[in-house]
Structure 1
């Protein structure tokens, strides 16, 4: 097969130099197909398998167009020229990482906008003036409503993973955002499928578009090898998981629930296999920290929910393990697509119990995966072949010491200091870094990353603090507000809540 260079596709020499410096000398099929049209300003509907190189396929024409548009022009506050919409924070971050080296060649400024973090830095970037915004729809619409962002100067808009946007219920927000962009702007839409309303977006916002479908929507990466392992019971499955996670290469283990992802990461780490978790209960700084540990190799195992099924691109992931088979076949394909990316090879393992066999086989048929089940144990030859060289045992960090006398842990001491600093125990609501009451953050996690709901020591700490104040405080029952567990002290004579009732927020879904 003849390789096509980026220069031959019409990519400007400044960007060709950046790509070559990053080891990218020849284009992938989706880039070969789409770049001639996108560089010429055409609207494009692109469909390619995960890991096919579509992020670069839309980043190159965006930077090439805006680099020329800004020449001799003036950057305006709150009025970006390019917009990329992505369904998840992780995907938005990955896209930004691809765009920035290209944007630097023209002196373009890029900023990322998503929820889960303070908007202060995002607002400051918009006010200072940015050229390209990579955003999740919810936070961007919030900033638009507050008057910090205006889209009337947008020249090129990209909607990435449109089908996932639909799955997450974002299409109404996306529609409102796209309505604010100029009708004559260039628009690029990438999606694995055109169902769930994606086709309506195409009809409404793309004009005289060119369709490029490099492969079928259900196709899977040819360089993936799929394995279906059947185990006899839960205990045998637990041993097998630890064995599969013990290799030297990077691997991602997918779980159905946040709770089980966190639990498995902890169990593996305690067994000498450094692992980090990634799921919706983590704050954005925690997600960033765990992804950095996985990317840098401090942890070779990432235990994740479907939040990592799209948008997480780390080089050389050699194995994806469906510890819990996903609910539907599209999730299987996207999870599996974390390996065998951009021309590399990889293995995908699905674990199933006998009771899951019927549903799992049906799932794989829908995903067009032809693989025969194999009954295995942790010592089976096929398992050993996948594991390869076993990584050295890594002693887990010492557990937090319990003070003599059965008191609270060091973590509780730190928690009490934070509570004292933030006004807890003085009748004032505990506040997060942005100054908002912690009950409004919607986070189950303390700043240390542990769920506040699991800290019995915090309760004893509150009681001791009340006692140290001359016996004036008494510990009140804990309440849940917006997913955050809070503790309060009350003084004799303090007004009780009306009717003696406390409103309880629902526990975040696992």
Structure 2
């Protein structure tokens, strides 16, 4: 179905960009009942919302004319939550209104504010910016909204989550009351509805996706991996899928660490976080869009609104904080009708949290283990055999050079050299310990308690304190002993030792055996199947929370020969010389004896 566009300039712009079939949200905003009205729109990520509100504005600022009128003050103001999204909206509206003579100016933090002031003073039709920078330009008098005919709030829920409520109210109050207000959001929460009631008039609500409906074009997979092997699992996933990927982390420190690690392994990776300058963030995104980088490690700053058309893979190295973050992160793939894949790395200690998170988003994920080195090498062989370097028709120069090679070497040697050349630029896969953890069984109903037996009037007897105050396992499963130089004198207690051991070693409570706390050290058992991975985790660089090393069972070491005990020598006080005066200590001792006698 073609776009129902009356304006020829916009129609030509859409055709030049290959927009032939409108999406559901684009058809909804172009319907006759939505013309020149305030709109409250909710649509899933990747559904073409930017082009949708760009087309919806045409009836207000362009009408039947083919070109926009000359103006100094802006006619449209678009507010976006992040710098990246604002710059992306600026680029989309620029090509959409280019043939109509539209001038679009961006105003975002991190860019040259004086340059933005000069562009605003020269006149423009549309201004796109972030709330803080727009408020700053309004306060300085560089941005005047006296002739503003429409205001668009893109990703309004994210702006409220980021704490821009005061800035939004200030900007909306500065615009004329007769303006159109278009509010676009992925979800219509209570705060969004309150904002719409306050600043919109007779708004038309448009819902283009069923509530609690996951993205149909995204396949979700939960990857089981040890807590200390998140990085190794990430490396193997990137090698196995070999596609453009966006990896999300929860902190800037994790972004720096993973970015440096992937670069050292040979990946073409870029980083994206709030600590980078705007020019550095733009460079990273352009490298990913243009194919010069294959992997982008990012915080949630990249989760909103970024359009990466060829992105096939999203990986959650750290679990999202909530359902909205999960959906917006994952929505960077599977856009504009393309299929995408979302991988969630889940350690054993966070499995329950991951299940609750996926369940709240109504997502049925496929649980699987990370690919092994053997599976990755088999996948490399398949890609090599299907590579276009082997299927493309050779040129005459290539055939001539091939004939010279065959004169010097046989075909098998040349093929082996080709394989070595192909593998030389591939990062090595990592060794990952597959830890299969069965899903938790539902909790059984607690049986009703009977009457409590009467307590006998027997004296309370405190149990004798032994060296084994904590025993977890009574079976005969094979175990390995470890020790830490922390004992009773350091307030060692299983209540805080067990979570610390689980976190450092990437294991669960069920894999910890007996814990024996002595005066100056603590010895504990680890299940033998995971003991080797536990030993590798506690000796990894950067693990300084607790010193742990392999040990023997208490009392299992060789008996120590104390040797002959040295004879004690009694101190003999030298005799006072005859006629000498008694010392002060002797006088005190004499007086003490006299007091006891009398």
Please report the TM-score for the alignment, with normalisation by the length of structure 1. Answer: 0.72
Give the aligned partner of residue 5 of structure 1. Answer: 2
Distance 1:306 1:355 in 2: 23
* Higher mean displacement: 14-23 or 370-379: 370-379
Give the aligned partner of residue 98 of structure 2. Answer: 104
Is the CA contact (8 Å cut-off) linking 1:84 and 1:158 kept in structure 2? yes
Distance 2:345 2:381 in 1: 15
Is the CA contact (8 Å cut-off) linking 1:39 and 1:64 kept in structure 2? no
The answer as to 2:288 corresponding to 1:294 is yes
Mind listing any 5+ residue stretches in structure 2 that lack a counterpart? 385-421, 428-598
Trace 1:29-108 onto structure 2 (pairs within 5 A).
29-37=24-32, 40-63=35-58, 65-68=60-63, 73-76=69-72, 79-108=73-102
The answer as to 2:221 corresponding to 1:227 is yes
Residue 20 (structure 1) aligned to one of 11, 15, 18? 15
Aligned-CA RMSD value: 2.4
Instruction: Kindly state the Cα deviation for residue 370 of structure 1 after the two structures are TM-superposed.
Output: 1.2
Give the aligned partner of residue 298 of structure 2. Answer: 304
Give the aligned partner of residue 507 of structure 2. Answer: none
Report SS of the residue matched to 1:46: strand
Instruction: Kindly state the Cα deviation for residue 311 of structure 1 after the two structures are TM-superposed.
Output: 2.3
Is the CA contact (8 Å cut-off) linking 1:244 and 1:387 kept in structure 2? no
* Higher mean displacement: 55-64 or 358-367: 55-64
Give the aligned partner of residue 233 of structure 2. Answer: 240
Q: For the structure 1 residues 230 and 107, does the alpha-carbon distance in structure 2 shift closer, same or farther, using more than 3 Å as the test?
A: same
Distance 1:181 1:215 in 2: 31
Query: Cα deviation per residue 1:36-89 (whole Å; 9 max; x = unaligned)?
Result: 25872111111100111111110112245323489684312xx21101110000
Distance 1:318 1:360 in 2: 22
* Higher mean displacement: 370-379 or 336-345: 370-379
Is the CA contact (8 Å cut-off) linking 2:333 and 2:339 kept in structure 1? yes
Give the aligned partner of residue 154 of structure 1. Answer: 148
Instruction: Kindly state the Cα deviation for residue 191 of structure 1 after the two structures are TM-superposed.
Output: 1.1
Instruction: Kindly state the Cα deviation for residue 254 of structure 1 after the two structures are TM-superposed.
Output: 0.5
Instruction: Kindly state the Cα deviation for residue 392 of structure 1 after the two structures are TM-superposed.
Output: 6.1
Instruction: Kindly state the Cα deviation for residue 386 of structure 1 after the two structures are TM-superposed.
Output: 12
Distance 1:88 1:147 in 2: 23
Is the CA contact (8 Å cut-off) linking 2:7 and 2:66 kept in structure 1? no
Mind listing any 5+ residue stretches in structure 1 that lack a counterpart? 397-510
Report SS of the residue matched to 1:281: coil
Distance 1:194 1:240 in 2: 36
Is the CA contact (8 Å cut-off) linking 2:227 and 2:347 kept in structure 1? yes
Q: For the structure 1 residues 383 and 15, does the alpha-carbon distance in structure 2 shift closer, same or farther, using more than 3 Å as the test?
A: farther
4+ runs deviating over 6 angstroms = 382-388
Is the CA contact (8 Å cut-off) linking 2:43 and 2:187 kept in structure 1? no
Number of residues paired by the alignment? 388
Report SS of the residue matched to 1:130: coil
Instruction: Kindly state the Cα deviation for residue 120 of structure 1 after the two structures are TM-superposed.
Output: 1.2
Is the CA contact (8 Å cut-off) linking 2:289 and 2:310 kept in structure 1? no
Is the CA contact (8 Å cut-off) linking 1:231 and 1:377 kept in structure 2? no
Is the CA contact (8 Å cut-off) linking 1:339 and 1:345 kept in structure 2? yes
Trace 1:395-414 onto structure 2 (pairs within 5 A).
none
Which structure has the larger Rg? 2
Is the CA contact (8 Å cut-off) linking 2:248 and 2:299 kept in structure 1? yes
Query: Cα deviation per residue 1:181-206 (whole Å; 9 max; x = unaligned)?
Result: 11111111111223252111100111
Please report the TM-score for the alignment, with normalisation by the length of structure 2. Answer: 0.62
Distance 1:285 1:239 in 2: 31
Give the aligned partner of residue 353 of structure 1. Answer: 347
Distance 2:378 2:167 in 1: 48
Residue 196 (structure 2) aligned to one of 202, 212, 228? 202
Is the CA contact (8 Å cut-off) linking 2:156 and 2:185 kept in structure 1? yes
Distance 1:212 1:243 in 2: 42
Is the CA contact (8 Å cut-off) linking 1:319 and 1:346 kept in structure 2? yes
Query: Cα deviation per residue 1:419-456 (whole Å; 9 max; x = unaligned)?
Result: xxxxxxxxxxxxxxxxxxxxxxxxxxxxxxxxxxxxxx
Is the CA contact (8 Å cut-off) linking 1:157 and 1:186 kept in structure 2? yes
Q: For the structure 1 residues 359 and 5, does the alpha-carbon distance in structure 2 shift closer, same or farther, using more than 3 Å as the test?
A: same
Distance 1:176 1:326 in 2: 31
Trace 1:373-392 onto structure 2 (pairs within 5 A).
373-379=367-373, 389=383
Instruction: Kindly state the Cα deviation for residue 168 of structure 1 after the two structures are TM-superposed.
Output: 0.3
